[in-house]
Structure formats: C-alpha cells, structure tokens
Amino acid sequence: MGLFATLVQKISDHPVLFIFVRGILENDFRAIRSTIRRELDLGPSARTLDLGCGPGAFADLFEAGDYVGVDLNARYIDHARRTRKGAFIVSDAKHVDLPDARFDQILIFGLLHHLPDDEVRGVLSECRRLLAHGGRVLVIEDIPAVSRMNLIGHLIHQVENGEFIRPVEDYRRLYAEAGRVERELVMQSGICDYYAAVLVTA
Ligand SMILES: C[S@@+](CC[C@H](N)C(=O)[O-])C[C@H]1O[C@@H](n2cnc3c(N)ncnc32)[C@H](O)[C@@H]1O
C-alpha cells in the first residue's frame, strides 16, 4: 500500500478524522444534506433506518423522529452512540436483527460501492423486508469522477477502499432488480460525484 493510501486508511479508521476530512472534501456535505432534506421525511412521525451510517454524520437531520443507524464498524457505532441522538446497532446491512416493516424510509449513503453485486442484492432485499408498504430508499452512491479535470476526485477513488465504484447504468440495473427508481440525479458534493436514486421497493 502506498503512503497516500495508508494515510487515507488511517483517516478512515478514526471516526472524528473521517467526518472532518470528508467534510472538507465535500463542502460540509451541503449538497448531500439538501438532497436528504428534499427526498426524505425529517418530521416526528418518520421512522428512518440509516444503513451503513458510519460515525453518524447525518443522524442530526432525523433528530425529530425515530432514527436507527446500522454499521458493521463497531468503532464508528461507538462514536455515534456517544455523540448523536438515536439508536445505533453494529450489524451487517444484509441481516439486521429488527422486525419486518419496521421503517418508513431508509438512507443508504456510500455503502454499496464497498460491496460486490451479490451483496448489494442482499442489502436491497433486506431493505424490502424492513420497509413498511409504500416505503422508500434514498441511495446515494459514488460514481467515477465525471470531469477529467477533477484530478483529486480521480485520485481519491484510486486509493479509497470502495472497490466497487460503479457507473450509473450498473447501479440502475441492480436497483431495477429490487424495485422502481422513482427519481434520480447525478450530483456533485464538493469534489465527489454521486448517483442519487429514490427507490420504491413495494
Ligand atoms: C463511506 S462510509 C459511509 C458512512 C456514512 N454513510 C457516511 O456517509 O458518513 C461506508 C460505511 O459502510 C460501512 N459498511 C461496509 N460494509 C458494510 C456492511 N456489510 N454492513 C454494514 N455496514 C457496512 C462501513 O463500515 C462504513 O462506515
């Protein structure tokens, strides 16, 4: 592993640094936050699952409602429990120990590009099980940097540990197997490019 990749790994391992550095690269997540505000219900009656919530950087948006964050990384969940409101569970996103139809909406931000296709199918199938009828998933996932001039964006993707950064068509194909894409958008968050899709699984 090169020096830069080692540095990125070290930063990723530390919850506070992870949020801080991504916040700089992504302009304080302004575009991501505004997409979440637009597409999801932040009101008191909303039951929200944040799958692959990391250290809980977006939990504050859902403070008014019933929010559960799930992540495989116990260190991130420990940090989220200490610093955010909501319930946090260490779990694989493919098998969450919660009842069927427990949630009205699910946020997935930056999880699926860490997973191969068969595991993405497993996560989306778990979303179907956990969502109440009429529920929706907002999925925001990394895509290859759109502009050739975005050298830092290309570099970050070379070294970050998401091995499955897909073009939009590949995400579309996987989502079509799980439900219907109601709305979609290619968006920029600081130097990072994303494909955001609202998926209805019922
Ligand atoms: C790029 S981070 C995004 C975290 C958070 N959504 C955010 O934007 O701050 C990806 C997260 O996915 C988690 N993750 C990876 N594979 C997972 C799995 N199978 N189940 C649950 N979480 C997983 C990692 O631990 C990491 O926190």
Confidence of residue 1 (pLDDT cuts 50, 70, 90): low
The answer, yes or no, to whether any atom of ligand 1 lies below 6 A from the CB of 109, is yes
Lowest mean pLDDT among 80-89, 101-110, 153-162: 153-162
Rounded to an integer, what distance in angstroms lies between the CA atom of residue 16 and that of residue 135?
32
pLDDT, tens digit, 9 for 90 and up, residues 51-70: 999 999 999 999 989 999 99
Rounded CA gap, 102 and 84, in Å? 21
Backbone angles phi, psi at 121, to 5 degrees: -60, -40
Query: Could you tell me the domains of the chain?
Result: 3-200 (3.40.50.150)
Give the residue among 87, 171, 80 at the shortest CA–CA distance from 124. Answer: 171
What is the reported pTM?
0.93
Say if residue 155's pLDDT is above 80.
no
**Residues of the chain with pLDDT > 70: what percent?**
93
Ligand 1 neighbourhood includes 111 CB (under 6 angstroms) = yes
Which protein residue has the closest C-alpha to ligand 1 atom 27?
54
pLDDT of the residue at 154: 64
Whether 160 has a pLDDT exceeding 70, the answer reads no
Substitution site in 26, 111, 192, 194 for ligand 1 pocket (most atoms within 8 Å of beta carbon): 111
Residue 4 phi, psi (nearest 5): -65, -40
Do residues 146 and 192 touch, judged by C-beta distance below 8 A?
no
Write down the pLDDT at residue 20: 87
Whether 73 is in the pocket of ligand 1, judged by its Cβ within 6 Å, is: yes
Q: Which residues contact 19 (CB under 8 A, 6 or more apart)?
A: 54, 55, 57
DSSP symbol at 11: H
**Which is higher by pLDDT, 194 or 145?**
194
Q: Is 93 in the pocket of ligand 1 (CB under 6 A)?
A: yes
**Amino acid in position 152:** I
Return the residue whose CA atom lies nearest to atom 17 of ligand 1: 72
pLDDT of residue 175: 97
Please tell me the predicted confidence (pLDDT) of residue 70.
Answer: 98
Which atom of ligand 1 is nearest to 57's Cα?
9
For residue 13, report the distance from its CA to the centre of ligand 1, in Å: 12
In tens, the pLDDT along 11-26 reads 888 888 888 888 898 9
DSSP letter (8 states) at residue 164: T
Cβ(52) – ligand 1 distance below 6 Å: yes
Rounded to the nearest angstrom, the distance between the alpha carbon of 151 and the centre of ligand 1 is: 25
Mean pLDDT of the region 62-89: 96
Q: Calculate the alpha carbon distances from 197 to 13, 76, 99, 140 in Å.
A: 28, 25, 25, 6
Residue with the smallest CA separation from ligand 1 atom 11 is 52
In tens, the pLDDT along 109-151 reads 999 999 999 999 999 999 999 999 999 999 999 999 887 777 7
CA distances, 64 to each of 45, 80, 138, 183 (Å): 8, 17, 19, 25
